[in-house]
Amino acid sequence: MGAFEAVRGFFQGSAERLGLEPEMREMLSRPYRELAVQVRVPMDDGSLAVFPGYRVQYNGARGPYKGGVRFHPQVTLDEIRCFAALMTWKTALLDLPFGGGKGGVRVDPKLLSEAELERLSRRFMHAVGHLVGPTRDVMAPDVNTDARVMGWMFDQYSRHVGWHPEIITGKPLALGGSLGRDAATGRGALVCLDRLVREWGWSREETRVVVQGFGNAGSWFARLADEWGYRVIGISDSKGAVVNPGGLEPHMVLAHKRETGSVAGFYGGETLEADELLGVEADVIVPAALEESIRADNVDRIRAKVILEVANYPVTPEAEQVLLGRGVTVVPDILSSAGGVVVSYLEWAQNTQHERWREQEVNDRLAEMMTAATEAVITRSERYEVTLREAAYDIAVARVAEAERARGYW
C-alpha cells in the first residue's frame, strides 16, 4: 500500500464514523491541486542537473495551504500527497487557521555543494512561486531543509514580489524567523507525551524513552526529554544506534554526532546497528526519522508500551493493527508531531503583525496549544471508545468538513 493510500484509510475511517456526506468524502479524499515541476540546477562543474519537484495543496478550506518542503533522494508524488493530507488534518486538529500542503524535490542534498544547494532552493521557489503567498500557501522546513534554505527561498520570492516574510516559516531570525522554531517539533511532542504520562499516572524518571532519528526533531526531543527528567536510553541515526539502560546524555550524544557524523561509537553507551534500536526494552519509542519505519516486517521486535509518532506516518496501518492487538498505545503524528506547524503559525502571526515575541512567550503558547489538543484527543477517545488516532482524525476531519460546508459549494 502506498503512503497516501494508507493515510487516506485513516480519513475514510473517520468519514465513516462521522457519517460524512458522499460529496464531502469525495472532496476530502484527494488533493485539491498538485504541481509537478522540473528544478533545473546549474552545477559547479558547468553541467546542468534536472531534479523532479512537487508542491501538493491538499485542502485550503480553513486557511492558506501550509506545509514543509523536503529534499530527499526518495521523494515521490505519492509521498508528498500523503504528507499534504497529514498537514490538513494536523492544522485542523490544532485549530490553526491553515489548510494542508507539502513539497519536495527528489535529490540527494548531501551530494551538493553549498552553492548548488542554494541554487536548488531558489530554483524550486522559482518553479512553484506562483502558487505561494502569505494568504495562499506558506512553506516551511522538513527533512534536509533548514533555516538557511528558507532564507534563500524567501529571498527568491521577495525579488519578484517584495518583502513578505509571511510566505515562509522556519526562516533565520534575521529575516523574521521566530525564537523557538528550531526546537518546536521536539518540544511539542514532549508536551504531548508529558500530558499523557500524567494521564496514565507514570513518573518522568521511570519512563524510559528511545529515539529513532537524531536530526532536528529527534535531537531536540531527546535533549528536552532529558532536561525534563525522562530517561533517554537509546538514540539512533541512519548510521547506527547507541544504547545505555542507565540513561544517555543526549546533549553529549549530539556533540559526538557533530564531531564524528553519527551517534554510533558514543563512549557513554553500547553501539548497535540502527535497526536494532526498535527491539530495545523501553516504555516509549519515538520514531523521529522517516515514514514507514515501523512496518509489518519489524513490528514484532517492539517491546515498548507506547509509540509517540514524531516523524510523519512512521507506523503503517498493518503494524498499527499488530500493536493495538498487543495493547500498545500509538500517539498519532497529526497530534504528536504538530509542534513545528504550531510555531510556524506563531511565526506567521508575528510576521503578519510586524511583531517579535520573546522565546518564553512562544514556548508558552506552544505548550498551551499542544496540551489543549492532547486533552481534546484523550477526552474524545474515552468518550467514544476509539483509539487516539481515530479520535484525532475525527476532530480534525469534522473541522475541515464544517469549514467546507460553511464556504458553500458554488
Rule CB under 6 A: which residues touch ligand NAD? 141-144, 185, 212-218, 236-238, 274, 288-290, 310-312, 337, 340
Least distance between ligand NAD and beta carbon 211 (Å):
9
Least distance between ligand NAD and beta carbon 291 (Å):
6
Q: Which three cell numbers stand for residue 12?
A: 475514510
C-beta of 217 vs 386, nearer to ligand NAD: 217
Give the separation between CA 338 and CA 94, rounded to whole angstroms.
8
Give the separation between CA 34 and CA 22, rounded to whole angstroms.
22
Give the separation between CA 368 and CA 354, rounded to whole angstroms.
23
Closest CA to 51 of 60, 66, 40: 40
C-beta of 288 vs 397, nearer to ligand NAD: 288
Strands, E assignment, 273-342: 284-287, 306-308, 329-331
C-beta of 15 vs 143, nearer to ligand NAD: 143
Least distance between ligand NAD and beta carbon 288 (Å):
5
Cβ neighbourhood burial of 327 (10 Å; 0-12, 13-18, 19+): exposed
The 3-state secondary structure of 82-123 reads HHHHHHHHHHHHCCCCCCEEEEEEECCHHHCCHHHHHHHHHH
Place of cell 544506534: 241
Task: Give phi and psi for 33, each to the nearest 5.
Answer: -150, 140
C-beta of 263 vs 401, nearer to ligand NAD: 263
Least distance between ligand NAD and beta carbon 97 (Å):
18
**DSSP line for 320-331:** HHHHHHTT-EEE
Give the separation between CA 182 and CA 172, rounded to whole angstroms.
10
Question: At 222, is the secondary structure helix, strand, or coil?
Answer: helix
N- to C-terminal Cα distance for the chain?
Answer: 34
C-beta of 311 vs 392, nearer to ligand NAD: 311
C-beta of 20 vs 343, nearer to ligand NAD: 343
C-beta of 61 vs 311, nearer to ligand NAD: 311
Longest dimension (CA), the chain: 64
Give the separation between CA 257 and CA 136, rounded to whole angstroms.
39
Number of CB atoms found within 10 A of residue 166's CB: 21
Cβ neighbourhood burial of 258 (10 Å; 0-12, 13-18, 19+): exposed
Q: Which three cell numbers stand for residue 124?
A: 524550486
Least distance between ligand NAD and beta carbon 56 (Å):
14
Query: Cβ-closest residue to ligand NAD?
Result: 215
Least distance between ligand NAD and beta carbon 337 (Å):
4
Least distance between ligand NAD and beta carbon 262 (Å):
8
Could you say which of 102, 110, 257, 305 is catalytic? 102
Q: Annotated catalytic, 102?
A: yes
Q: Which three cell numbers stand for residue 187?
A: 518540544
Place of cell 504520562: 197
Least distance between ligand NAD and beta carbon 220 (Å):
8
C-beta of 156 vs 312, nearer to ligand NAD: 312
Catalytic residue numbers? Answer: 102
